[in-house]
Chains A and B, each alone.
Chain A
């Protein structure tokens, strides 16, 4: 069986600025890969290319054995229509550094709206699903609150529930705790850890190196748009080979 996610030789330029310079990775079902690296090295860009929020300059993505974001006829690749792309994106959940809950909807509706509008679920079924997902992130008690009345950690947990309600094959996390006050980081990491233990496949971009070591089964160190070093967490974080990785870890673990 094909890997859940395959990223082949991905390149991304922004108006001449080369951000990704040939990144490849694979993720098996139920596995968790953590991506670490210095600010500006292209971690977010890689994640955003995986669900085609950005269109890669070159390279291809396969999800569950299926070409993602593109159609192929003959040897030619072409970006999908927005409609087809939306259908594929619904298989991938994304959690943003800035949460981006929708402020005009309460927690429950934030979670239920995609099941209703994207998948055409009945309102009752969508609410049942939303309640179950909010339960998972320990936010049932706040389901009627609007985002402005939730703390950052609570907002991020609702955002995770929103992504889970897609019942995605893959979850992408882009520094889910970087915008949080230190005392709120723990509650979000706990939820992610529980999801990991449940066997949900994920790619996690994070600055929380210790956390990455705990939950991930594979760590990628991205430097300047290329994979500098990768492997088992104990090896990459515990016994780094490259000097750049060593100094990055030293800097980050000093805090």
Chain B
């Protein structure tokens, strides 16, 4: 027992330090993804053909290639163009761009699901199209897309593990370093899994609750 506690005492702190980075990367990427996704979904509604082509190409490109490849291209590719960026920045840009593509589709579908009559009623009372979007359509879209966005956030949280590949100092990165010096492979990854679980489980429960509430509302 003491042996195990001793191990936890030495291995725990660096892993928790990594967990802080993991959570930070998740939150920053999520914010980028939400802003980007929403912006793209709104631009798509303006139905400007050439812009929509570009957005569609971007979405398909990011949805149909591995995140790992995207991260490598950003982290190792940008220096060729003269922009050397730290691994943390590369990580949030990569995950943010990737998430933007995912959430653009979620938000686009969410906006499209609001009956056109809702918008016409808004215009008929003298709202501008922007006011209709802001006060009538987006609040409903937001509620509807909260569960899928939450699910995406959980997936993103777990996917941050890949950014250890570009040496961003998150949990997996520390785990690998610790394995190299202690050879406690199984034990370390057990701790890692535990940390992920403790953080992700409450989020998953919250999303479940939102989903149930929404079913009651619809």
Residues 93-110 (chain A) with a chain B CB within 8 angstroms: 93-94, 96, 98, 100-104
The docked-state distance in angstroms from the alpha carbon of A119 to that of B128 is 12
Interface of B is mostly: helix
Closest residue of chain A to B140, judged by CB? A104
Which residues in B have their C-beta under 8 angstroms from that of A123? none
Select the stretch in A59-67, A84-92, A199-207 that faces chain B: A84-92
The docked-state distance in angstroms from the alpha carbon of A92 to that of B165 is 61
Which residues in B have their C-beta under 8 angstroms from that of A19? none
Q: Does chain B have a CB within 8 A of A250?
A: no
Closest residue of chain B to A87, judged by CB? B126
Contact, CB under 8 Å: A162 / B125: yes
Partner of B128, one of A86, A104, A165, A166: A86
* Inter-chain residue pair count (beta carbon < 8 A): 69
Q: Output the least CB separation between A109 and chain B (Å).
A: 10
Which residues in A have their C-beta under 8 angstroms from that of B115? 98, 100
Contact, CB under 8 Å: B117 / A96: yes
Q: 28 A-B pairs, CB-CB below 8 angstroms? A: A53-B124, A82-B129, A86-B123, A86-B131, A87-B126, A89-B123, A89-B125, A90-B125, A93-B124, A93-B125, A94-B121, A94-B124, A100-B115, A100-B121, A102-B121, A102-B136, A113-B135, A114-B125, A114-B126, A117-B127, A118-B131, A119-B126, A159-B121, A162-B121, A162-B125, A163-B124, A163-B125, A166-B126
Which residues in A have their C-beta under 8 angstroms from that of B140? 102-104
Name B's A-contacting residues (CB within 8 A).
Answer: 115, 117-118, 120-129, 131, 135-136, 139-140, 143, 217
Q: Output the least CB separation between B140 and chain A (Å).
A: 5
Contact, CB under 8 Å: A118 / B117: no
Contact, CB under 8 Å: B118 / A102: yes
Q: Does chain B have a CB within 8 A of A83?
A: yes
Q: Output the least CB separation between A99 and chain B (Å).
A: 8
Which residues in B have their C-beta under 8 angstroms from that of A159? 121
Kindly state the interface size class of chain A when it binds its partner. 20 to 34
Q: Does chain B have a CB within 8 A of A33?
A: no
Which residues in A have their C-beta under 8 angstroms from that of B129? 82
Closest residue of chain A to B134, judged by CB? A117
The docked-state distance in angstroms from the alpha carbon of A102 to that of B136 is 7
Q: Output the least CB separation between B7 and chain A (Å).
A: 52
Contact, CB under 8 Å: B117 / A98: yes
Contact, CB under 8 Å: A118 / B127: yes
The docked-state distance in angstroms from the alpha carbon of A4 to that of B179 is 83
Best-surrounded residue of A93, A104, A119, A166 (most CB of chain B within 10 A): A104
Closest residue of chain A to B131, judged by CB? A117
Q: Output the least CB separation between B136 and chain A (Å).
A: 5
